Amino acid sequence: MKKFSSLLHNLILTPSRNTKIKLLQDYFKILDINRAYALAILSDQLSFQFIKASKLRELVYEQVDQHLFDYSYDYVGDLAETISLIWPTNKEGKSQNLSTLIENIKKIKKSEINIEFSKVLSELSNNERWTLIKICTGGLRIGVSERLVKTALADLYNKSVNEIEEIWHGLEFPYENLFQWLKNETSKPKIDFKKLFHPMMLANPIDEEKDFKRLDANEFQAEYKWDGIRVQLMVSSNSVSLYSRTGDNISSAFPEIIETTKGDAVIDGELLVGGNFKPSGFNDLQQRLNRKKASKDLQKKFPVFIRAYDILFYKEKDLRKLSLVERRKYLEKFQNENTTNQIDLSAIINFSTWGELTKYKNNFYDDLNEGVMIKLKNSEYLPGRKKGYWYKWKKNPKLVDAILMYAQRGHGKRSSYYSDFTFGVWKENELVPIGKAYSGYTDKELLVLDKFIRNNTTNKFGPVREVKKEIILEVAFDDVFPSTRHKSGVAMRFPRIHRIRWDKPINEVLSIKEFKKEFKID
């Protein structure tokens, strides 16, 4: 545990990619079972059923005064770090094996979690405790991607990282077959590719100035970019399953798709809510997300369908090395054979110049798509965000000027800065908040805002500071919906700070009435 926690400590503090790779490789040179645990943790595949963030808070409140914890958490901005530092006992010395520690924690009964897990936390040093809590809460955020871990392993054993990538989703803890193959003791693990989640092909944002000059419009095709959730649908004669972009099996939440789809293929598409293949917006989709099951009622009220973009396998055929145009033929074939009404195909937009495409990007269907995708006609299906094949071209965001009202310290790399901003518009002579944003500004703007907030606080509510109503933020957002949960009656999708409007006086900001009218909210 000591060794692994100092690995994480060093990884988080090392800016250099090469040093990170070297640190990982030094660790993976150990030959015992601990490296399998490390690999599982670094690729976010290990978690404890009963110990999540809320449980950890409960445990720390048993140890320290709640207010003192909250002040500290507000300051640090990272739950794992706050708990590890504030925990009253620190024991350096008897360090446990990473594998033993994890197996012991797994054995703890649910009814004894509070006592037993607290005991575990008390027997660790600060850094080990930080590591363990990071493991519990998942998502290490230490600046090491899964890809980097794979790269480190590949380089260490002279393999190509793509080879690891290909079999990755078919591997299971403790990865014996992987390590044996890496050391050339066995051949590459045999994986039944068709049953496996395949990392999706992703697009890079287009650089309008550079890319359109450089790229030949004739070599590309375009489709609308739909604002749902990206899914992979695996259909075979005996089973159908649906995976999210991150490879989570989400079949049980969408039974209507699972029950009705027939055929033999692996499909890449967008899951959308709406009847008769008319998407009704992200707000409706949200009613179906993050649910384990969907009642008949919900299925009726918020019907879902898949808009298919691509096909990876057709029957026994691996299509991934074919061109997009070739794959499209197979996709159409699959669609013709699949008689249900849960899947339709993403339409292909015909255009001959980039200028022509602009009108599709901005106007089509008004709000229901996010822009267009531009795909190289002869692109293979490649996992990850490879450059030069697929591009996304988003609509211009909606913009509104709003007044900065409250601020809070940020988390993670923005901790210590006042970087979470609540902004509002007028309602008669008062301001009413319409949203909260914690991105979009430049580093310089953040410093200016942070300083303004420290010097112009008029009131404090716990960690939240109310500030003088002087700063106007131009907020960009993807969409806005009516909401009963917010005082203003509106909820924004993905608001971010576009710029600071130094030039505009605060009385020129819209009223909530005008805001609703402008963005068509009843």
- Candidates 77-85, 101-109, 328-336, 503-511: pick the segment binding other proteins (CB under 8 A): 77-85
Residue 420 has what DSSP assignment? E
Can you give the length of the chain in residues? Answer: 522
CB 425 within 8 A of CB 510: yes
- Candidates 72-80, 152-160, 289-297, 316-324: pick the segment binding other proteins (CB under 8 A): 72-80
| 72 is a contact residue toward other proteins (CB under 8 A) | yes
| 439 is a contact residue toward other proteins (CB under 8 A) | no
- Candidates 8-16, 106-114, 373-381, 488-496: pick the segment binding other proteins (CB under 8 A): 8-16
Biggest CA-to-CA distance, the chain:
75
- Closest distance of CB 157 from other proteins, Å: 25
Q: Which is nearer to other proteins, 76 or 449 (CB)?
A: 76
- Which of 195, 301, 377, 413: binder of other proteins (CB under 8 A)? 413
| 454 is a contact residue toward other proteins (CB under 8 A) | yes
Q: Under the phi-then-psi rule, with left for phi > 0, alpha for psi from -120 to 50, and beta for the rest, what region is 295?
A: beta
Q: Which is nearer to other proteins, 75 or 173 (CB)?
A: 75
CB 224 within 8 A of CB 372: yes
- Which of 50, 71, 364, 494: binder of other proteins (CB under 8 A)? 71
- Closest distance of CB 133 from other proteins, Å: 12
| 447 is a contact residue toward other proteins (CB under 8 A) | no
- Closest by CA to 315, choosing from 194, 160, 171, is 194
3-class secondary-structure state, position 413: helix
CB 189 within 8 A of CB 178: yes
- Closest distance of CB 224 from other proteins, Å: 40
Number of residues that bind other proteins (CB under 8 A): 27
Beta bridge partners of 268: 232, 310
CB 361 within 8 A of CB 221: no
Residue 218 has what DSSP assignment? G
Q: How far apart are CA 452 and CA 223, in angstroms?
A: 44
By the 10 Å C-beta count (0-12 exposed, 13-18 middle, 19+ buried), 433 is classed as middle
- Closest distance of CB 60 from other proteins, Å: 11
Torsion of Cα atoms, 380 then 385 then 390 then 392, to 10°: 160
| 78 is a contact residue toward other proteins (CB under 8 A) | yes
- Candidates 46-54, 265-273, 384-392, 411-419: pick the segment binding other proteins (CB under 8 A): 411-419
Count of CB atoms within 10 A of residue 156's CB? 17
| 173 is a contact residue toward other proteins (CB under 8 A) | no
- Closest distance of CB 80 from other proteins, Å: 10
- Which of 44, 58, 61, 68: binder of other proteins (CB under 8 A)? 68
| 244 is a contact residue toward other proteins (CB under 8 A) | no
Q: How far apart are CA 402 and CA 425, in angstroms?
A: 5
- Candidates 47-55, 78-86, 279-287, 513-521: pick the segment binding other proteins (CB under 8 A): 78-86
CB 267 within 8 A of CB 315: no
- Candidates 83-91, 192-200, 380-388, 507-515: pick the segment binding other proteins (CB under 8 A): 83-91
Name the residues that contact other proteins, by CB under 8 A.
Answer: 9, 12-15, 64-65, 67-69, 71-72, 75-78, 81-82, 85-86, 90, 130, 412-413, 415-416, 454
